[in-house]
Amino acid sequence: MKFPHLFEPLAIGSAVFRNRIFSSPQGYYNVAKDNLPSLDEVAYYERKARGGFASVTVGDCIVEDSTGTHYPFLIRMEDRSTLPGLAAIASSVSRHGAVASAELAHAGMYARFVKYPDGSVYGADSMKNAAAATVLGGDLYGPVYIENGKYGEVLEMPEEMILRIIDKFGKAAAWAKTCGFGMVTVHGGHGWLLSQFMSPTVNTRTDRWGGSFENRMRLPLAVIESIRKNVGRDFPIEYRFSGSEASPVGYDIDYGVKFAQAIDGKVDIIHVSAGDHEDDHSIIITHPSMFMEDGVNVKYAAEIKKYVKTPVATVGALTDPAMMEEIIASGRADIVNLGRQSLADPDLPTKARTGREDDINKCLRCNTCLEHTGSIRTLRCATNPEIGFERDAKISRPLKERKRVLVAGGGIAGMQAALTASERGHEVILCEKTDRLGGVLRCEENVPFKLRLHEYLDRQAKQIAKAPIDLRLNTEVTPELAQSLKPDVIFAALGAVPKIPPIKGIDGVNVVEATALYAAPEKAGANVTIIGGGLVGIELAIYLRTLGKIVTIIEALPTLVSDDAGMHLLAHDEAVRQPGITVHRATTVSEITPSGVTCKNDGGEFAVPADTVVIAIGQSPLRAEAIALYDSAPEFYQIGDCVTPRRIITATSQAYTIARDI
């Protein structure tokens, strides 16, 4: 076996884990108004188990509604009507040979949705009143009184409440066991209640629940004891915490080691994460951005592993089975947890075990998944169109008629359409006007933090080469060619071309379009001004800065990356704040000169010197060229950027879905 350490089974108590690859806690927020687990949620967790993960953890199982809920659409462990849904999840995971785990959580002083304005705790009508609850909320409780907490005034948690919550953790674990779960994961990290009490910065109480290290440990240890009393000695308990809060105001790894030693032997797995979910700086360490190296947080688990006997799990930016094997073989950790990677490819464990690691779709760390969780409460993946539609993907649709399918364009959308149509059993011809598949994004292949994107494009191209697809490079699809091929179906995936704004001096020798500079960065001078602060402009600025260039971004809107949000936006903000990058927001360019650009904003007109001026204001879809093909086949579909230039997820999802329909 290529990865013997990674696939060595692990027996803990009553559970046997078939390998060392766990799916880390992820919540599922696309629930009905009663907040009960749905069939879609069952299919979501089942998909990971079917792909070979040893353990699949259901995130955000709240132990007490009235004080611990940070969103109104989470699993409520106090609600006994959750039994059928939770039992279905546990069964769907365990019947595929994985261990189902429930992550037990309490948000403490970040429980921003605890009550409605009338004082009632959320219930079946929570979604109707969520907006009011967001604004007014209810009483927040934490280790100490805070006048101006992140979500308002925080009251010091009285002892009777602490004791009640300890009991609730135990009862929630018992409920998970009753529902068929084979393990519980205690969420003691990322700034939630247990980490608030263990924090030397936050917990300055003077009673037996705070102050000294022993007193700060009292709540976490009491919770572990309560759970153990309720589930028994052989039922595995995983404790998840931040080995370091990775923040100037948080604790460091030395304190993390001390904490791990305190719970050593009392739990069955010590799951070492990092960061604080409510700190904008460290949350992008909890969820490492594409600008960080692979396995960036393994160092925390490796350090803790030196001081404890309990099996240690690590998590964060892990995509490569070879790296995972080395982590375990070298003794830096006993278990690897995958979060976003479990979305990019739920079949990673099976592929790695069966020697198909080259087929693994590796996570781009673009945070499309987290962005969609925040915006529409449903997980999606930029490169795996199955995610969010797991129930639909399980349905095998018989091919009623084998059709001749012509795909015009070999970019993101075209490759996905060709692969899906071929998998369905259709005869597929894929034409690409250049000598290479991958489309416009190939220009970024030398950008270090876009390595995974380059690998994704290569992987798709290799899959096409292996499939029974008639690939024709250097072939532009015209109406004449299309008609001569006599297709039953045409997919027009012709892409887009860069927008060129009508700015005086735009045709100067010092002006270059962004994709051209990505492909040939050596053409940039020492000082570069980028017109456009969208995704392309920002990431080009970050790349050029790594090459030693001094970069200025000019953006007409008040904010950067207007079509982006959430975690990726935080990562961008962090990256563009580095020395050597200057940003002018709400600023327009009136002229480009041989020495730079002339700009204007509320402060008046000013000049920005530049050796090279880059145009990065977006793309114009090749709609006319696509529409010209509309009558060349009985069925005609436009997909990808030739409809409207958008994100990778739009192209893959649209191409996959329509190709499944034909």
* Antiparallel, parallel or unpaired: β 269-273 and 312-315: parallel
Return the pLDDT at 133.
Answer: 44
CA distances from 215 to 222, 273, 474 (A): 11, 23, 71
Residue with tokens 């709609």: 623
Q: What is the mean pLDDT of residues 210-235?
A: 97
The helix/strand/coil state of 516 is helix
Strand (E) or helix (H) holding 17: strand 15-17
CATH code, 403-497+620-661 = 3.40.50.720
The ranges assigned to domains in the chain are 10-392, 403-497+620-661, 511-617
Tokens of 659: 């190709």
In terms of DSSP H, where are the helices of 377-450?
A: 390-394, 412-424
Q: What is the pLDDT of residues 450-498, one digit of tens each?
A: 999 999 999 999 999 999 999 999 999 999 999 999 999 999 999 999 9
Q: What confidence category does residue 191 fall into, taking pLDDT thresholds of 50, 70 and 90?
A: very high
Residue with tokens 């879905």: 657
Tokens of 632: 């060349």
Q: What confidence category does residue 432 fall into, taking pLDDT thresholds of 50, 70 and 90?
A: very high
The helix/strand/coil state of 357 is helix
Return the pLDDT at 566.
Answer: 65
CA dihedral 561, 567, 572, 575 (to 10 degrees): 170
Helix-then-strand count for the chain, H and E: 24, 29
In terms of DSSP H, where are the helices of 397-513?
A: 412-424, 451-466, 479-485
| 403-497+620-661 matches 511-617 in fold | no
Return the pLDDT at 128.
Answer: 44
Q: What confidence category does residue 284 fall into, taking pLDDT thresholds of 50, 70 and 90?
A: confident
| Cβ atoms < 10 Å from Cβ of 146 | 16
Q: What confidence category does residue 130 fall into, taking pLDDT thresholds of 50, 70 and 90?
A: very low
Distance (Å, whole) CA 568 – CA 54: 29
User: Among residues 50, 53, 42, 44, which one has the least CA distance to residue 17?
Assistant: 53
Return the pLDDT at 118.
Answer: 55
Return the pLDDT at 564.
Answer: 55
Fill in the DSSP letter of residue 191.
T
User: Among residues 7, 99, 48, which one has the least CA distance to residue 379?
Assistant: 48
Q: Which residues contact 354 (CB under 8 A, 6 or more apart)?
A: none
Q: What is the pLDDT of residues 90-108, one digit of tens each?
A: 999 999 999 999 999 999 9
Question: Residue 190: phi, psi to the nearest 5?
Answer: 60, 25
Q: What is the mean pLDDT of residues 70-76?
A: 86
Query: b/e for 585-608, b at 16 or more Cβ within 10 A?
Result: eebebeebeeebbbbeeeeeeeeb
Fill in the DSSP letter of residue 214.
H
| Domain 511-617, second-level architecture | 3-Layer(bba) Sandwich (3.50)
Q: What confidence category does residue 562 fall into, taking pLDDT thresholds of 50, 70 and 90?
A: low
Q: What confidence category does residue 575 fall into, taking pLDDT thresholds of 50, 70 and 90?
A: confident
Q: What confidence category does residue 125 fall into, taking pLDDT thresholds of 50, 70 and 90?
A: very low
Q: What is the pLDDT of residues 170-179, one digit of tens each?
A: 999 999 999 9
Return the pLDDT at 119.
Answer: 55
CA distances from 124 to 378, 554, 598 (A): 20, 48, 57
Q: What is the pLDDT of residues 334-362, one digit of tens each?
A: 999 999 999 999 999 999 999 999 999 99
- Contact yes or no for 106/64 (Cβ under 8 A): yes
- Contact yes or no for 411/440 (Cβ under 8 A): yes
User: Among residues 346, 344, 318, which one has the least CA distance to residue 333?
Assistant: 318
Return the pLDDT at 637.
Answer: 98
Q: What is the pLDDT of residues 22-46, one digit of tens each?
A: 999 999 987 766 778 889 999 999 9
Q: Which residues contact 485 (CB under 8 A, 6 or more apart)?
A: 404, 406, 429
| Domain 10-392, second-level architecture | Alpha-Beta Barrel (3.20)
Return the pLDDT at 148.
Answer: 85
The helix/strand/coil state of 556 is coil
The helix/strand/coil state of 244 is coil
Query: b/e for 558-578, b at 16 or more Cβ within 10 A?
Result: eebbeebebbbbbbbbebbee
Single-letter code of the amino acid located at 628: A
Distance (Å, whole) CA 274 – CA 193: 15
Return the pLDDT at 560.
Answer: 85
Helices 253-263 and 298-305 sit at what angle, rounded to 10 degrees? 50
Query: b/e for 80-114, b at 16 or more Cβ within 10 A?
Result: eebeebbbbbbebbbebebbbbbbbbbbbbbbbbb
Q: What confidence category does residue 70 fall into, taking pLDDT thresholds of 50, 70 and 90?
A: confident
641-464-345 Cα angle (round to 5)? 80
Share of residues in the chain with pLDDT > 70 (%): 95
Strand (E) or helix (H) holding 559: none
